[in-house]
Amino acid sequence: MKTTIDKAELKKQIIYNVKTLYRKTIDEATPQQVFQAVSYALKDDIIDQWIATHKEIERTDAKTLYYLSMEFLMGRALGNNILNLCAQDEVKEVLEELGFDLNTIEDQEPDPALGNGGLGRLAACFLDSLATLGYPAYGCGIRYKYGMFAQKIEDGYQREVPDDWLRDGYPFEIRRAEYACEVKFGGYVTVTKDETGREHFGQAGYQSVRAVPYDLPIVGYGNNVVNTLRIWDAEPINTFNLDSFDKGDYQKAVEQENLAKNIVEVLYPNDNHYAGKELRLKQQYFFISASLQTAVNKYKKAHNGDVTKMYEKVAFQMNDTHPSMAVAELMRILMDEENLTWEAAWEITTKCCAYTNHTIMAEALEKWPIELFSRLLPRIYGIVEEINRRFVEEIEATYPGNHEKIAKMAIIYDGQVRMAHLAIVGSYSVNGVAKLHTEILEKQELKDFYQMMPEKFNNKTNGITQRRFLLHANPLLANWVTDKISDAWITNLPEISKLKLFVDDPKSQQEFMNIKYQNKVRLAKYIKEHNGIDVDPRSIFDVQVKRLHEYKRQLLNILHVMYIYNELKSHPDMEYYPHTFIFGAKAAAGYRRAKLTIKLINSVADVINNDKSINGKIKVVFIENYRVSNAEIIFAAADVSEQISTASKEASGTGNMKFMLNGAITCGTLDGANVEILEEVGKDNAVIFGMTADEVINYEKNGGYDPMQIFNENQEIRQVLMQLINGFYSPQDPELFRDIYNSLLNTYSSDRADTYFILKDFMSYHEAHMKINELYQDQTRWAHIVMMNTACSGKFTSDRTIQQYVDEIWELDKVTVEL
């Protein structure tokens, strides 16, 4: 692929930028200043492509996607943009000539972390694939002043540090004040009748904020296509008039100023957990209203002000229920501002909106109290009420006299607005994110909706972008793959199956294993620098990195480490290959048990890492502040991928795919996309354990199981559990881990004990580990397995996922951009 970047021009530009931005010559510039200067220089080139892309979209009137998401977990842009501009060599050389190292410069960029975990990172992968495939798309989100907190580990505990990502200014964003718009909160609904007797609704007595968009370029790979991530900032609407002696005005001005300041202040750090906070509801409406107003205006401009066929050119994809207000807001715009009838507005809305479900966890379902919803958004609430009234009528017509159906399916029920129901009723498509997950939605969680409207339901198994997670994250392996099979995999990942030719070739095996080793050395160095722990790159790197959540069962993993440690202590000659157990996880700031689990992992690490008697056979490392930038280093270095959620709970998982692509074996349950990974790689090349989703669901229907029986019958498990309450890992405070012990054994700590079947799956998990221990020691067999994992990962590119969304949901038009 050829780049448009000219070396001499780039060098001149960098020097010029350093001068005008910082009043410095290049030899005086700090790495941060060089990062800024390079980024601005590249942005110049990107902007030409960006403008050309938009001209082409306008010229061809191509159907455009608006991906509505509260989260975009982008990770660093500089390195990715360089790769997608195919300018790696040019930029690297120019920087070297100026006396700088590209990696060091890339490391200056803060991680834009406007997301929590899987859902936000999926949105980022989708944007990369959309641009690379040439589909017109906007990501629409919030420009949080503070993104996902940075994690500090102090005395084994997590401390949250604000993520001030905008501190030095972010060079890739552009403020677009000309697209600012007004978003209204509170007040009351007004009704007026026109000469024909038709009612017109409006709002009065409200407070408003000015939504100001910032655009970030999303660079497609080597195709000159640049899409837009549009994130909204909030500003006070009226410059506050200090001369005003009108007390009411003054009060209002202050309130509006505060509203604007608070709204975009911080990302809620909850993952898979709903917090019914008023500010969160404001955030949702704020970015939805601003995004939809702009989308409708843009469409109108291109179509003589006539919105009636908007669905032919526009699709809104709702990333979970967080943006599901879009259904009601679009109705409001079409009726109150465009003067359409309910029926006309409803037709457009339900042909534009589509909804993706990412979870079946009950505690993640959004339900807003009517009182809060109607006070904050009176007009939107009135529209939701009417959507609900009409939908309940439909239920009654379909199932006459069936009151249970209404109770189960209504949008407004029991004093609450159920956002998932609003999203389903207002959408033409409802999709799950992996085969198993979609099946569970259809057969269990959303069964009533599936029965009434089966045509809406479909599956779109998640994917990841190989450009960030192989090409950028693992240059050694990326180059090796390219040498073997050409670089076609970069835009066509299924090509990677050509590696199957090499999986039993001794020389290729050597090369592959050597690359893995070098990546383990790179990670070991990172761990030494950041944690001060020495790890042996020849040991098995067994890795679990993801948000901390009980259903993901980091607890199972660490309890098992404790189990192995006990075994090694009592049988020092036990045949056991040295292992490094690596964890990385942020806990939601208010999630006490998750935070205690982090403390447990660190306490176990302290004891084991300092026990000379086991000859370094086990090391435990908790990597502080797991995020996109260090994830790239971690995936490349993993031997074993821990994907051990309680079956049925993990909708898909995407980390599992990143490990697979980088040549790690999955140690996992039959949950989420693990099921499909197993299908692709074959049962000899993955290690599967534990209960199935059906078994879990059956137990749940029958009130759980009895963990006490396992506790009583299994001495080794009992020993591990007793170590939670006898001070073995917390001599200063033997009671420290009592809550975790209780969660596993005592029904009084929650309705059921061991809700996530940790003890039930324990021995099966242990066997899986013993299997891995054995496989690793046959290096030929192991090389075959991990190479098969890379070779079989073709399905899991987000390019495939996006193509399926386009073919089956969005029907977007492709654009090609010539410069």
Q: How far apart are CA 179 and CA 594, in angstroms?
A: 42
507 is catalytic: no
Among 462, 641, 662, 790, binds ligand 26Q (CB under 6 A): 462
Closest to 367 (Cα-Cα) out of 420, 445, 288, 425: 420
280 binds ligand 26Q (CB under 6 A): yes
Q: How far is the CB of 64 from ligand 26Q (least distance, A)?
A: 23
Among 223, 272, 427, 580, binds ligand 26Q (CB under 6 A): 272
Among 653, 663, 707, 794, binds ligand 26Q (CB under 6 A): 653
Return the number of the residue (269 or 707) whose C-beta is nearest ligand 26Q: 269
Q: How far is the CB of 591 from ligand 26Q (least distance, A)?
A: 12
552 is catalytic: yes
Return the number of the residue (283 or 294) whose C-beta is nearest ligand 26Q: 283
460 is catalytic: no
Would you state the structure tokens that stand for residue 30, as one six-digit string? 């700090």
116 binds ligand 26Q (CB under 6 A): yes
550 binds ligand 26Q (CB under 6 A): no
Q: State the number of binding residues for ligand 26Q (CB under 6 A).
A: 24
419 binds ligand 26Q (CB under 6 A): no
Return the number of the residue (99 or 590) whose C-beta is nearest ligand 26Q: 590
Among 117, 171, 663, 668, binds ligand 26Q (CB under 6 A): 117
Q: Which of the following is catalytic: 460, 546, 579, 800?
A: 546
Q: How far apart are CA 100 and CA 95, in angstroms?
A: 5
Residue whose C-beta lies closest to ligand 26Q: 118
Contact assessment for residue 647 and residue 669, using Cβ atoms and an 8 Å cutoff: yes
Among 10, 38, 122, 253, binds ligand 26Q (CB under 6 A): 122
Stretch that binds ligand 26Q, among 150-158, 172-180, 405-413, 647-655 (CB under 6 A): 647-655
268 binds ligand 26Q (CB under 6 A): yes
Residue 353 burial class via C-beta count within 10 angstroms: exposed 0-12, middle 13-18, buried 19 and up: buried
Q: How far apart are CA 306 and CA 485, in angstroms?
A: 51
What DSSP string describes 16-29?
A: HHHHHHHS--GGG-
Q: Which of the following is catalytic: 552, 649, 760, 795?
A: 552
At position 87, the amino acid (one-letter code) is: A
Q: Which of the following is catalytic: 63, 358, 472, 586?
A: 358
658 is catalytic: yes
**Distances 54 to 65, 129, 301, 627 between C-alpha atoms, Å:** 13, 17, 14, 32
Q: How far is the CB of 395 from ligand 26Q (least distance, A)?
A: 26
- Tokens 């399926």 sit on residue: 804
Binding map of ligand 26Q across residues 463-502, x = CB under 6 A, - = no contact: ----------------------------------------
364 binds ligand 26Q (CB under 6 A): yes
271 binds ligand 26Q (CB under 6 A): yes
Stretch that binds ligand 26Q, among 113-121, 154-162, 291-299, 695-703 (CB under 6 A): 113-121
**Residues between 193 and 222 with contacts to ligand 26Q, criterion CB under 6 A:** none
Three-state secondary structure readout of 415-478: CEEEHHHHHHHCCCEEEECCHHHHHHHHHHHCHHHHHHCHHHEEECCCCECHHHHHHHCCHHHH
Q: How far apart are CA 87 and CA 45, in angstroms?
A: 11
Among 350, 359, 602, 662, binds ligand 26Q (CB under 6 A): 359
Would you state the structure tokens that stand for residue 362, as one six-digit string? 């009950």
Sequence-separated (6 or more) residues with CB below 8 Å from residue 682? 788, 792
Among 39, 151, 654, 743, binds ligand 26Q (CB under 6 A): 654
75 binds ligand 26Q (CB under 6 A): no
Among 43, 230, 358, 560, binds ligand 26Q (CB under 6 A): 358
**Distances 385 to 203, 370, 373 between C-alpha atoms, Å:** 17, 10, 11
Using only C-alpha atoms, what is the Rg of the chain?
27
Binding map of ligand 26Q across residues 1-20, x = CB under 6 A, - = no contact: --------------------
Q: How far is the CB of 656 from ligand 26Q (least distance, A)?
A: 9
Return the number of the residue (357 or 603) whose C-beta is nearest ligand 26Q: 357
Alpha carbon 207 to its chain's center:
32
Q: How far apart are CA 76 and CA 54, in angstroms?
A: 24
Closest to 526 (Cα-Cα) out of 639, 635, 641: 635
Closest to 490 (Cα-Cα) out of 507, 476, 470, 461: 470
652 binds ligand 26Q (CB under 6 A): yes
Closest to 748 (Cα-Cα) out of 718, 708, 778: 708
Catalytic residue annotation: 358, 546-547, 552, 654, 658
Question: Which spans of this chain sit near ligand 26Q (rule: CB under 6 A)?
Answer: 116-119, 122, 268, 270-272, 274-275, 280, 358-359, 364, 366, 433, 462, 650-654, 672
